[in-house]
Amino acid sequence: MKKILMGLIGFVGLMGLCGCDKIEEGEYTVYDGAAVTWTSGTLTETPVQRVFVEKFTGPKCSNCPLADETLATINDERVVIVSINHPTGQGLPFPGEPDLRTEGGNKWDAWYGINAIPSAFINREKSVRYQGSMTNIVSAINQALNKPIILALDVHAENELTNVHVTVNLKFIQRYTKPITLTAALIEDSLAYKQLLPDGNIDEQYMHNHMLRKVITGFWGSEIDCTGNADESRQGSFDFNVGEDINLENSHIVVFVSDKASRSVINCASCRVMNEE
């Protein structure tokens, strides 16, 4: 049976509680992301097809600001962007700078087999690589936006002082009976740190946006409890703790629903974290 370690107690803390006693196989607890509880839902909003864009970047990548410029021209709330620092080479931080690489981002990077940045992936189906520019990403995003909508999705997050509570609602517009998963992540904007520019200079206060800070669920998502029949609505809820180095006022929760086998993204959504009233 899958066991989840919730709250602030991590693996290190668990070992401290156990002292020197031997932990028998099957008795230890493994952190595998936030546990999602599923119940019947009531999604009433107009269905919207969105596009999930993963951009792989790095502070020592001189062409990455050109990719940022292209994505900044896409003024469409239906486009959900997550920026991920490559784990090696140009993705390494400058000395003394914050290291924004994440374990989840590293796993996704390895799954794609990233060997050059900047690069981007649209709904985990289509790749767009830098070829003197990244303007080709605009047409790829537009194609994805025109796909027939399979399920509607929205997300709400509320800061409850000691943790953030997230509620996800989905409704099937078309029948989809293959196993699907929900993945949730926290991204942060307005992070100012060094970035190598196309002219070879270094911007000491380059503004990095959409940066992946943590994957909240398991790295490959949490399986959604549903039948997949048309008109079925489901609501998922979960809680997670935010690190002290993250500014929630500049952060978003990003969720996306994927086909479990292919990992292609069916739909996605994002929201800011609201303060508890």
CA distances in angstroms from 187 to 49, 89, 150, 231, 253, listed in the order given? 21, 22, 25, 31, 6
Tens of pLDDT, residues 129-152 = 877 778 889 999 999 999 999 999
List, in order of start, the domains of the chain with CATH numbers: 1-32 (no CATH), 33-275 (2.60.40.10)
Band (pLDDT 50/70/90 cuts) for residue 8 is very low
C-alpha 266/C-alpha 6 separation (Å) is 28
Above 70 in pLDDT, residue 9? no
Band (pLDDT 50/70/90 cuts) for residue 277 is low
Radius of gyration, alpha carbons of the chain = 19
Tens of pLDDT, residues 48-82 = 999 999 999 999 999 999 999 999 999 899 999 99
Band (pLDDT 50/70/90 cuts) for residue 97 is very high
| Short-list 151, 131, 132, 120, CA closest to 57 | 120
Residue 84 contacts by C-beta under 8 Å, 6 or more apart in sequence?
54, 55, 56, 57, 102, 105, 108, 109, 212
Structure tokens given for 106:
């590293």
C-alpha 226/C-alpha 90 separation (Å) is 42
Residues found in the chain: 277
Above 90 in pLDDT, residue 211? yes
In this structure, the number of other CB atoms found within 10 A of the CB of residue 30 comes to 10
Above 60 in pLDDT, residue 117? yes
| Short-list 28, 200, 188, 199, CA closest to 102 | 188
Across 119-131, average pLDDT: 91
The pLDDT score that the predictor gives to residue 114 is 93
C-alpha 86/C-alpha 59 separation (Å) is 9
The pLDDT score that the predictor gives to residue 132 is 75
